[in-house]
Structure 1
């Protein structure tokens, strides 16, 4: 899974939480957000399923709950702020939600955090603005009521420009227009107040409603293709602004009102949670653990999902948060008390035991990947593509295990060195193949280190491999080779090139080998 990296100022996160730097770093790691600190900034890795943590406000909120502060409460005041949905609105962008937030303390740090949050939401949940597009405006420059419509005739001064432009001119000449023109082929969405256009979603806002340092009152508009997702994104934004001292006001959209900040009620399924986690928690222990992750409860049989959490839909999600708060490292490994008959692929068991005997830990990755990940190191163009991918992270079948393994090394870069991992799994090219890949990351290593592991495995599977000089861009020049068996190339081996390591954010040298496990 590709992580989103959120940058936060170290002094500010300590100020917002009252914690020392060491407590912040330890707490983030325990919650599941590996963090590095350099030159007064922290770089926090956040999984895409937790978009509420894409801002310093969300991260501070998580840390405060984790260290025992009572979760905050969020509510929106009733108001007369209204938006009319015009019949011209097309099916390409049919949904709209919004809110007004007043009294925000918008200093330089708050503005940077808000912009970062908006961008991260666009890139992840928003599918690069296709599913969700967010506009944030200076409320003092807006005259309600608003109208959301489709139109080709409007003119306005777009953000960062000094002159008025027509819609077609913006699409053709404005940098944002050219970047996102493919999203408005079926019509041009317009959000207008009583003075004119304030937003052309998902392209650009009006210069008239620019948000800057000192802006106190904000209007948020969100358009897109999935109503529930829009509502969840709006909740994340208004809760972050509420944490900055803002007061949230409802926006009436047609016959409905947003944001919807009432926490979602779920049953505290003690039996189901214990079955999933293999524990014997009492209901009180489950409540206590969930409170550390920002949840509330009725003290009886129900828990309440915080309004900014978009990722919770099943009791398994509840169990996951119980496990995080309890601490994954505290769980004791156990052997399952059931047997499932099956068979191992040729040589897999011998290879697995051999790798474990050499001090390697096994990892298991998804068989699906995406072109961006393959392009980092492998430059594959013949991968089998998914016709209807559900996420941009998984759009094709992997052609190798090496790229996933480098991702594992990157995810474990804060662990004690050396990191020694391996994977046995399927790779998909012209045919399905059974592969072994293994990697070592250490402060100092060379080609002979990884070659020695290959030689040991060759004894385990009783195969004599031959190495031939390789020009593979994956490796340092002169320190990589192709692996041959009976004059057929079956793999690669070498020291990973510095530019590849940099693209993964890996600081220490890595040596890697991947071979096909073949019969005969």
Structure 2
């Protein structure tokens, strides 16, 4: 879960009172947060940390990634502040942003909004920048899904154009630089920058780079790399133009909603946002931010039963108001009722039903098999249930489309893109990382695989010669049980061994034990 650092004095100002760490830790526990004090050794190395607490945030609460969000949520939880109602206020003339079709080649989506008549302090300005960094690292998946740009609206003029151009045609003065650079020059310069270097591969090999500019061709940003220096925001900025470009439109809208709701409290009209008219590349026109309110129906009796309490619908409604109620699923309502009611207040009861626990047959069988294979000199290995597509396809000389793999929608890293369909890659990686161990290496995993289609069985057991690109031709057989293929046995192909950096021949047998139950 994400962690943020907050200045104690600033937090106390926002909450209206001082807390000892023990008091705040207890409050955080009641609300669902976990606080941490710096160690004495850390303070000795950096005395500024004496005024800092770290707070661990639930992964689904992006609104708590800044001190404004935490303070607001806790004040509402303590019933010292009413839950704000966020609204959009249309000006006489809307700001506009047009997305051109060329963006489809690199980053097709964009949304925008304006915070009008905002007043920054040094603390709120720093928090504004920090929230963008936190969102970039979490929800935005290190800018691969969404990149945020914030600009001083008084230094630029709409309508704004979101386009994608060949790198050589993009030239502007990037943030904190003294002169203009072309896009290729910037990519070269920032390849040595520890902060921006990780983001360069997102667009480096694309034929066109995304770029946003105003009616006077002033470049606002080249997402997801860098903003222009011309429109940078400062403590004196009064009107902020926010744009989010993305490969995922839904994530872009969530990021924009999070930013404007957190910092609209500093506007002359608190919790109001000025929408921007965005024309998408398909010609459709939408106003952002949408700031949607969702309605969810839950059964009061069911909530009471699952939490273990007995309260009225009115009391339950009051408890949910304390939680600012961020609903993803009805179970979130149940969880928030329990938090607001107080976990420590829920009376512990012995369940009315009694059951006798027993092992699943497959677990009982694997426990028996573990003893036998250990006696035969095999070492059991535990490997990750997720792996890369290359692990089960390219490295195994196969096509990923033929793997029946369960794909992860938004993998955090390239190493965890799918659920493993075979145990072989994990075992081969284990061998690759233990090549200094004496031979022979006899490894055996008892682990699950994930497949979209499960094979049905009939009768019988035998092996049958087969062709499989992962194995030597003529040295591979299918293991068949009840007329269904449950595994393979054979000698691995040299190219597979090369992919896993192995230099010795390797034979293996892999099969499912569940059909034997």
Q: Find the structure with the greater CA-based Rg.
A: 2
Which residue number in structure 1 is paired with residue 255 of structure 2? Answer: 233
Q: For 1:334 and 1:432, locate their aligned partners in 2 and report how far apart those are by CA, in whole Å.
A: 36
Contact 2:3 2:55 in 1 (8 A): yes
Which residue number in structure 2 is paired with residue 110 of structure 1? Answer: 124
Which residue number in structure 2 is paired with residue 180 of structure 1? Answer: 199
- What pairs with 1:284-295 in structure 2 (closer than 5 Å)? 284-295=314-325
Q: For 2:447 and 2:99, locate their aligned partners in 1 and report how far apart those are by CA, in whole Å.
A: 54
Unaligned 5+ residue runs, structure 2?
A: 39-49, 280-284, 368-382, 389-404, 421-442, 449-517
SS in 1 for 2:295: strand
Which residue number in structure 2 is paired with residue 473 of structure 1? Answer: none
Which residue number in structure 2 is paired with residue 171 of structure 1? Answer: 187
* Pair 1:125–1:343, CA change in 2 (3 A): same
* Pair 1:43–1:249, CA change in 2 (3 A): same
* Pair 1:368–1:210, CA change in 2 (3 A): farther
Q: For 2:124 and 2:34, locate their aligned partners in 1 and report how far apart those are by CA, in whole Å.
A: 23
SS in 1 for 2:30: helix
Which residue number in structure 1 is paired with residue 427 of structure 2? Answer: none
SS in 1 for 2:241: strand
Which residue number in structure 1 is paired with residue 77 of structure 2? Answer: 66
Higher strand share: 1
Instruction: Report the CA distance between 1:217 and its aligned residue.
Output: 1.6
Q: For 1:204 and 1:430, locate their aligned partners in 2 and report how far apart those are by CA, in whole Å.
A: 49
- What pairs with 1:281-320 in structure 2 (closer than 5 Å)? 281-295=311-325, 309=326, 312-320=327-335
Which residue number in structure 1 is paired with residue 215 of structure 2? Answer: 194
- What pairs with 1:109-508 in structure 2 (closer than 5 Å)? 109-152=123-166, 153-174=169-190, 175=193, 178-184=197-203, 185-186=205-206, 187-195=208-216, 196-245=218-267, 247-254=272-279, 255-295=285-325, 309=326, 312-331=327-346, 332=348, 334-335=350-351, 337=353, 339=355, 342-343=358-359, 388=408, 390-392=410-412, 395=416, 430-432=444-446
Q: For 2:18 and 2:365, locate their aligned partners in 1 and report how far apart those are by CA, in whole Å.
A: 51
Q: For 1:219 and 1:142, locate their aligned partners in 2 and report how far apart those are by CA, in whole Å.
A: 9
* Pair 1:144–1:91, CA change in 2 (3 A): same
Which residue number in structure 1 is paired with residue 54 of structure 2? Answer: 43
Q: How many residues align?
A: 358
Instruction: Report the CA distance between 1:318 and its aligned residue.
Output: 1.3
Instruction: Report the CA distance between 1:37 and its aligned residue.
Output: 4.0
Which residue number in structure 1 is paired with residue 32 of structure 2? Answer: 32
Q: For 2:235 and 2:220, locate their aligned partners in 1 and report how far apart those are by CA, in whole Å.
A: 19
Instruction: Report the CA distance between 1:213 and its aligned residue.
Output: 2.0
SS in 2 for 1:118: helix
Instruction: Report the CA distance between 1:248 and its aligned residue.
Output: 1.8
* Pair 1:348–1:286, CA change in 2 (3 A): farther
**CA offsets per residue over residues 60-99 of structure 1, 9 Å max, x none?**
1111111002111111111310001112111542111111
The Cα RMSD (Å) is 3.1
Instruction: Report the CA distance between 1:267 and its aligned residue.
Output: 1.6
Q: For 2:314 and 2:200, locate their aligned partners in 1 and report how far apart those are by CA, in whole Å.
A: 53
**CA offsets per residue over residues 216-242 of structure 1, 9 Å max, x none?**
221111011222221111111101111
TM-score (norm 1): 0.63
Which residue number in structure 2 is paired with residue 8 of structure 1? Answer: 6
- Which deviates more from structure 2 when the two are superposed, residues 340-349 or residues 90-99? 340-349
**CA offsets per residue over residues 152-197 of structure 1, 9 Å max, x none?**
2121001121110111221222236643222113331111112321
Q: For 1:327 and 1:347, locate their aligned partners in 2 and report how far apart those are by CA, in whole Å.
A: 43
Instruction: Report the CA distance between 1:333 and its aligned residue.
Output: 5.0
Contact 1:171 1:177 in 2 (8 A): no
SS in 1 for 2:101: coil
Which residue number in structure 2 is paired with residue 20 of structure 1? Answer: 18
* Pair 1:387–1:54, CA change in 2 (3 A): same
Q: For 2:386 and 2:52, locate their aligned partners in 1 and report how far apart those are by CA, in whole Å.
A: 31
Q: For 2:128 and 2:444, locate their aligned partners in 1 and report how far apart those are by CA, in whole Å.
A: 46
Contact 1:276 1:316 in 2 (8 A): no
Instruction: Report the CA distance between 1:210 and its aligned residue.
Output: 1.2
